[in-house]
Every structure is written in structure tokens, then in C-alpha cells.
Amino acid sequence: MTTASSPVVSVRFMDEDDLDAVLALEGEIYSQPWSRQVFVDELAADHRIYLVAVVDDVIVGYAGLMVIVGDAHVTTVAVHDGARRHRIATRLMLDLVDGSLVLGARHLTLEVRVSNRAAQRLYARFGLAPVGVRKDYYVDEDALIMWVTDIDGDEYRRRLAAIRGELDAGADDD
């Protein structure tokens, strides 16, 4: 990375050429990683957005979502341990939300491990609130279901603008 406190991060659309790096990161982060074929299928599907975060030509994170009948469902957000606390997940989420709006989303949802408090705090900044639990969703753990509605409204646009402002101010916390 460029410096310990302020890496230069770029976010771009994921493509199949990224999959070796994404799969390596997936294997480091998750006990039950997605297969190459899952990513290939997701990249080929309609109404999907998959992004990678890059620092010094190295993929340090990725995220994805699908939009179904106005609902955007975040399918994955992952950041390499060594790249955390530089707002990379925030950047990925902002771009996912922006893309979901282009695809006509009105609401946003996801599942997160009940033990993953850091991710829950990130998602709460995006207005997502707990609405239920999916038992054994992660084989070894339950998932907290989180939702936010009306992401296409002015109030939510103001929330996104505030998050972008925090990024511009350079705060590091996810």
C-alpha cells in the first residue's frame, strides 16, 4: 500500500481476469468460500454489480449485489485484513448503492454474521437496521438480516452525501 494511513484506493467493476486474486482473498477470509464458478455465474447474470478495490495494483477488497424487483441484495463485501480501517468497505458500499440505484433499486438488504459487529456498524451507517435472524445461515452461525428502505429518496441521498463527506475528510474506521 502507499502509506499506512492513507492508501490510494480505486474501485472498479470486477471481471473474470480478477478472479484469481478475488478467490485467493475469498479463501483467506471465509471458512466456506465461493467457488470460481459462482463468481463467473454472478458476473454473467443480469442485474448484478461486482466491484474490486485496488491499492497499488493489488486487489484488497471486493463486493457484490443483485437487484431483484426493486430490492438490492448485497451478496458479499470483503476486505483483506491488512487493508482494513482505510474506509475500503465504505467505498465499496457507496459504489454498490450508486449502482443499485441505476438498476432501479428502492430498498437495500443483506445478511451479516451475528458476531460481526464491525460490519454491522458499517451497514448501520448506510441506514441498514436489523429486521430478523436467519438460523444457521453460515453453517456455523446465524445471520442478522438488515434492511433499509427508500434508498431512492432525498433523505437517503443526504445520508450518502454525508458518508462521502466523511471519506473526503479522511477518517479511518472500517
49-72 pLDDT, tens digit each: 999 999 999 999 999 999 999 999
Q: Quick check: is 42 catalytic?
A: no
Interacting residues of 14 by C-beta distance below 8 A, sequence separation 6+ = 22, 39, 43, 50, 51, 52, 62, 64
Long-range contact pairs involving 41-44 (C-beta distance under 8 Å, separation at least 24): 42/66, 42/75, 43/14, 43/15, 43/16
Task: Give pLDDT tens digits for 135-149.
Answer: 988 888 999 999 999
> Which domains does the chain carry?
9-169 (3.40.630.30)
Catalytic residue among 111, 137, 138, 166: 111
Buried b (16+ CB within 10 A) or exposed e, 69-108: eebbbbbbbbbbeebbebbbbbbbbbbbbebbbebebbbb
Is residue 141 among the annotated active site residues? no
Q: What is the pLDDT of residue 81?
A: 85
Amino acid identity for residue 68 in this structure:
I
Whether 102 has a pLDDT exceeding 50, the answer reads: yes
Residue 80 has pLDDT above 90, yes or no: yes
Entry pTM: 0.91
- Catalytic residue from among 42, 50, 62, 123: 123
Using one digit for the tens of pLDDT, what is the confidence trace for 3-54? 445 678 999 999 999 999 999 999 999 888 999 999 999 999 999 999 999 9
Average pLDDT, the chain: 92
